[in-house]
């Protein structure tokens, strides 16, 4: 075995798995499983299957998910830069599928960076409803925002907040909430050996403190009758079955919706609650049989049973659909825990100042009316579609948001919506995310580049291209001179500015092909 597994981890797993342990252990000798998930916001499945440069094999629990051979390097292809697929560990594709997202839903992805599951939810929303996506770690929200933009998501708000502060702003608001909880990461050991090296027995306790807080806070944001999906990429029952049992005891208005078994996902392990109650520092109270029966309805993806690194998932639904809102209590603590690992609320800057700063409001810029007029004039000249969303301005930046500005007041907002551009010195400059989310039919001018002759890669590297005027496709007789939506094989990549046979490259420096 190449991965060095912590001996305490191995002892625990042997105790838990018994006869199954050897086969579990031998799975660490198997190759890692790599997957991509087709971004159906930009391309439908049939078209991708025809276009795919890689051999694809379906992932049973995710309609848009496919196994690929890791050696094909899917991140090194222009289609990746066009946001046609997201590279994602196969078992990590299960939780968002189980959220049962319907078009028009209000969805919260509470622990979202770098955005794998958020981009999946956005594809399921299909441009409708609202996605609020959040991560408590500011640095990680940069990757989250970038992925939201790369994948052409129009209806997302990106936050960098504590769950408590979001709950204050959005009480009982969301139809669906995903908690892909911070966890001890035991399912990542094969993929990321550092995780194995850093794993310590006590990290499980630290994680349970965070998980308990996040789960109970999420319940306060759920609309009556809504659904929470809780997932981890760890095997520890403290973070999984016990966390859900404790939640159900404290929140009797919730029940587990059993995970379908037809895709190879195996049941939760209620018997491990008994194992935990026998441990020093384990479960403090006994768990009623009725709750144990529900725990069996949770799902486990095991690396020795399915082609995936491992995940736990629980689908929780709030039973009451009445308008009278339930009072959620934290319930009894089942697991002994250390409070010192607790994440505290962020330092309190003046709330309205915080949200304005994050979205660029405090930069000196033109007035709101002037800014919106510039955006509208740009849209009339360069776009051929009515774009939905509430136009919001923060300084000279313009966003189309799925929520009203007041709803974000006091929150640390990374993106209040779809960033469409900025007014500077009286001129509107379109944002890169506007381009990535546009279909070619929505732009007045397009230029299609091909993968085959290397032109697409040259564009992605930031080169200026020589382009004959006849290659700029125009709508409604507009002049080819001006902003052009650049596409690869028909899928949007970014902006260019065409004039006199040259395409000035507007692909952002930080996004370039290296
Ligand atoms: C398992 S990762 C999420 C992976 C992500 N869902 C995806 O699919 O790409 C857990 C995330 O939770 C974040 N996190 C940790 N504590 C948090 C908290 N109290 N509230 C919100 N996010 C938190 C971490 O920064 C981390 O990015």
pLDDT at residue 328, rounded to an integer: 41
Lowest mean pLDDT among 6-20, 190-204, 380-394: 190-204
- pLDDT reading at 217 higher than 80: yes
Q: What ligand 1 atom has the least distance to the C-alpha of 114?
A: 9
113 annotated as belonging to a binding site for a ligand: yes
**Residue 233 annotated as catalytic:** yes
In the chain, CATH 2.30.130.60 covers: 440-511
* Nearest ligand 1 atom to alpha carbon 182: 10
Check pLDDT > 50 for residue 346.
no
Q: Is position 116 annotated in a ligand binding site?
A: yes
132-136, 184-188, 466-470: segment of lowest average pLDDT? 184-188
Query: How far apart are the C-alpha atoms of 118 and 133, rounded to whole Å?
Result: 7
Which residues of the chain form CATH 3.40.50.150?
91-191+201-341
Q: How far is the CA of 140 from the centre of ligand 1 (A)?
A: 9
Tracing tokens 């990542």 back to the chain, one arrives at 188
pLDDT at 343: 23
SS3 readout for 63-94: EEEEEECHHHCCCCCHHHHCCCEEECCHHHHH
Angle, CA of 220, 221 and 224, to the nearest 5°: 85
Ligand 1 probe mutation, 89, 97, 135, most atoms within 8 A of CB:
135
Which residues have a Cβ under 8 Å from the Cβ of 350 and sit 6 or more positions away? none
Residue 344: per-residue pLDDT = 25
Helix H segments across 94-232? 94-98, 116-125, 138-150, 163-169, 193-198, 203-219
Per-residue tokens: 276:
């935990």
Does residue 359 have a pLDDT over 90? no
Nearest Cα to Cα of residue 188 among 199, 180, 203, 179? 199
Taking CA atoms only, the protein residue closest to ligand 1 atom 7 is: 116
List helix spans (H) across 220-320. Answer: 241-250, 271-277, 289-295
At 219-238, the pLDDT tens digits run 999 999 999 999 999 999 99
Q: Quick one: what percent of the chain has pLDDT higher than 90? A: 81
Beta partners for residue 317, in sequence order: 227, 255
**Ligand 1 centroid distance, CA of 284 (Å):** 27
Taking all residues of the chain, what is their mean pLDDT, rounded to a whole number? 90
What mean pLDDT do residues 128-145 have?
98
- Bigger pLDDT: 363 vs 130: 130
Q: What is the pTM assigned to this prediction?
A: 0.92
Q: Is 114 a known ligand-binding residue?
A: yes
Catalytic residue (choose from 183, 207, 233, 298): 233
167 by Cβ neighbours in 10 Å (0-12 / 13-18 / 19+) ranks as buried
pLDDT recorded at residue 25: 94
Confidence of residue 269 (pLDDT cuts 50, 70, 90): very high
d(CA 395, CA 368): 8
Do residues 242 and 335 lie in contact, with contact meaning Cβ atoms separated by under 8 Å? yes
Check whether domain 440-511 has CATH 1.10.20.10, yes or no: no
pLDDT of residue 483 exceeding 80: yes
Question: Could you tell me which residue, 479 or 358, shows the higher pLDDT?
Answer: 479
Least confident interval from 265-279, 315-329, 334-348, 435-449: 334-348
What is the predicted pLDDT for the residue at 405?
94
What is the predicted pLDDT for the residue at 351? Answer: 35
Q: How many Å apart are CA 160 and CA 169, to the nearest integer?
A: 13
Residue 332 is predicted with a pLDDT of 44
pLDDT in tens, 66-106: 999 989 999 999 999 999 999 999 999 999 999 999 999 99
Ligand 1 centroid distance, CA of 510 (Å): 24
Could you tell me which residue, 7 or 348, shows the higher pLDDT? 7
Angstrom distance (rounded) from CA 121 to CA 148: 11
Q: What is the pLDDT of residue 338?
A: 31
Q: What is the per-residue pLDDT across 187-213, written as a single tens digit (0 to 9) for each? A: 888 877 788 888 876 689 999 999 999
Checking if the pLDDT of 271 tops 50, the result is yes
Tell me what the mean pLDDT of segment 321-331 comes to: 44
pLDDT at 277 (0 to 100)? 87
Average pLDDT of span 327-331:
42
Q: Does domain 91-191+201-341 have CATH number 3.40.50.150?
A: yes
Ligand 1 centroid to residue 56 C-alpha, Å: 29
d(CA 154, CA 433): 9
pLDDT at 324 over 80: no
């Amino acid at each position: 075995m190449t991965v060095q597994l912590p001996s305490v981890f191995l002892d625990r797993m042997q105790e838990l798995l018994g006869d199954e342990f050897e086969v579990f252990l031998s799975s660490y000798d198997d190759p890692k499983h790599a997957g991509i998930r087709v971004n159906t916001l930009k391309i439908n499945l049939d078209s991708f299957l025809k276009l795919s440069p890689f051999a694809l094999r379906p992932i049973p629990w995710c309609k848009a998910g496919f196994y690929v051979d890791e050696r094909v390097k899917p991140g090194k292809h222009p289609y990746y830069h066009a946001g046609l697929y997201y590279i994602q560990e196969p078992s990590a594709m299960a939780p968002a599928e189980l959220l049962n997202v319907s078009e028009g839903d209000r969805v919260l992805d509470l622990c979202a960076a770098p955005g794998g599951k958020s981009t999946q939810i956005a594809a399921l929303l299909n441009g409708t409803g609202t996605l609020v996506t959040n991560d408590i770690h500011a640095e990680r929200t940069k990757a989250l925002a970038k992925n939201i933009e790369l994948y052409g998501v129009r209806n997302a708000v990106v936050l960098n907040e504590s769950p408590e502060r979001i709950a204050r702003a959005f009480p009982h608001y969301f139809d669906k909430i995903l908690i892909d909880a911070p966890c001890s990461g035991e399912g990542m050991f094969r993929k990321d050996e550092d995780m194995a090296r850093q794993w310590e027995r006590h990290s499980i306790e630290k994680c349970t403190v965070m998980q308990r807080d996040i789960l109970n806070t999420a319940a306060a944001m759920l609309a009556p009758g809504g659904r929470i999906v809780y997932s981890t990429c760890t095997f520890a029952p403290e973070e999984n079955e016990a966390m859900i049992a404790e939640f159900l005891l404290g929140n009797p208005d919730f029940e587990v919706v059993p995970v379908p078994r037809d895709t190879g996902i195996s049941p939760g392990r209620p018997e491990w609650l008994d194992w935990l109650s026998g441990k020093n520092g384990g479960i403090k109270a006994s768990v009623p049989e009725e709750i144990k029966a529900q725990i069996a309805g949770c799902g486990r993806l095991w690396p020795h049973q399915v082609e995936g690194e491992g995940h736990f998932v629980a689908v929780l639904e709030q039973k009451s659909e009445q308008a009278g809102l339930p009072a959620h209590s934290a319930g009894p603590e089942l697991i002994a825990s250390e409070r010192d690992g607790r994440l505290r609320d962020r330092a309190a800057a003046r709330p309205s100042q915080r949200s304005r700063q994050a979205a660029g409001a405090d930069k000196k810029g033109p007035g709101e009316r002037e800014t919106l007029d510039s955006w509208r004039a740009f849209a009339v000249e360069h776009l051929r579609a009515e774009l939905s969303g509430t136009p919001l301005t923060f300084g000279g930046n313009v966003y189309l948001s799925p929520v009203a500005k007041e709803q974000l007041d006091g929150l640390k907002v990374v993106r209040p919506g779809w960033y469409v551009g900025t007014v500077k010195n009286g001129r509107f400059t379109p944002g890169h995310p506007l381009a990535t989310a546009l279909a070619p039919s929505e732009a007045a001018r397009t230029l299609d580049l091909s993968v085959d002759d290397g032109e697409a890669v040259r564009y992605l590297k930031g080169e200026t291209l020589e382009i004959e005027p006849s290659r700029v496709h125009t709508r409604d007789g507009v002049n080819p001179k001006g902003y052009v939506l650049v596409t690869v094989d028909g899928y949007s990549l970014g902006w260019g500015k065409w004039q006199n046979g040259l395409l000035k490259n507007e692909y952002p420096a930080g996004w370039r092909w290296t």
